[in-house]
Structure 1
Amino acid sequence: MYSDINSEEYRDQFATSAHQFIDVREEEEHAEGHIPGAVNIPLSEFMARVDEIDEDAPVVLVCNTGVRSAQAALYLASMGYEDIYNLEEGTKGWMKKGYAVDGA
C-alpha cells in the first residue's frame, strides 16, 4: 500500500532526505506550474515508464488533487514498491498554501 501525506508532512519529512518526487499530471499541466523537484511521468505513460522509478528509494507522487497520484501509488504497490507516498492535496493544495512552484 501507500501513505497519504499533506504538504506540511512532505516538507517536514522529505526536505533533506533522498526521494523520488513524481508529478503524474500530463506534460502541459506540469509545464504550467509544478512543485520544485518534481519529475514529470504522466499517468498516461506511467506503466510504460515505471522502470524509470527506483523501487529501493522512497517515491512521492503528486497530481492536481491527489486522485491520479493515488492511482499511480496503487499501481506501484501492485508492482512490489513499498515506500510510496501520495501528496493528497496535490499541486492545487500546495499552491493554495502559498508554497513555491516552478514554471508558473
Structure 2
Amino acid sequence: MASFLDRLLNRDPDALPKNVRVDRALELVADGAQLVDVREQSEWRSGHAPQARHIPMGRLTNDARRLKQDVPVVVMCASGSRSRTAAAQLRSMGYQATSLSGGLAAWRMAGGAVR
C-alpha cells in the first residue's frame, strides 16, 4: 500500500527505477518482464540474449506496439546508453520500462545467456 507521502507526490512505490543493475534485470526477466534489445541489426547478429525482442532504437516508436503494455520492460543495448534513452521513450508511451546498466557486456559477465 502506498504511503501518504507517495500518494501526495503521485509516486508509484511499485514502479521500476529508471536503471537497474544486471542482477535485478535478470530477476525481472526471470519473473516475466519483457527484454528488448535496441541495438542495430549487425550488433544483434553478433550475439543477443535468446529471450530478447529486437527493436532497433530507430524503430522503437513504431514497433513498441509489439510489446505488452501491462508487462514490465527491461531495455538493453551494448553499454546502457541507448537503452536509457529507449526506456525513457517507452515510459513516455505508458510502458513500465527500465534500462539495463552496463548493457550486453554486463549481461554476459553476470551469466546471462547469449547466442
Aligned CA distance change for structure 1 residues 97 and 43 (closer, same or farther; 3 Å): same
Unaligned 5+ runs, structure 2: 1-15
- Give the secondary structure class of the aligned counterpart of 2:68: coil
Is residue 93 of structure 2 the alignment partner of residue 61 of structure 1? no
Between the aligned partners of 1:99 and 1:80, the Cα distance in structure 2 is 27
Structure number with higher relative contact order (C-alpha < 8 Å, ≥ 6 residues apart): 1
The answer on whether the counterparts of 1:34 and 1:91 sit within 8 Å (CA) in structure 2 is yes
Structure exhibiting the larger radius of gyration computed from Cα positions: 2
1:71 is aligned to: 85
How many pairs were matched up? 100
2:18 is aligned to: 3
**For the aligned residues, what is the CA RMSD?**
1.7
Shift of residue 101, structure 1, vs aligned partner? 0.8
The answer on whether the counterparts of 1:2 and 1:73 sit within 8 Å (CA) in structure 2 is no
More displaced 10-residue stretch of structure 1: 61-70 or 3-12: 3-12
Is residue 32 of structure 2 the alignment partner of residue 18 of structure 1? yes
Unaligned 5+ runs, structure 1: none
- Give TM-score scaled by structure 1 length: 0.84
- Give TM-score scaled by structure 2 length: 0.77
Is residue 104 of structure 2 the alignment partner of residue 94 of structure 1? no
Identity %: 34
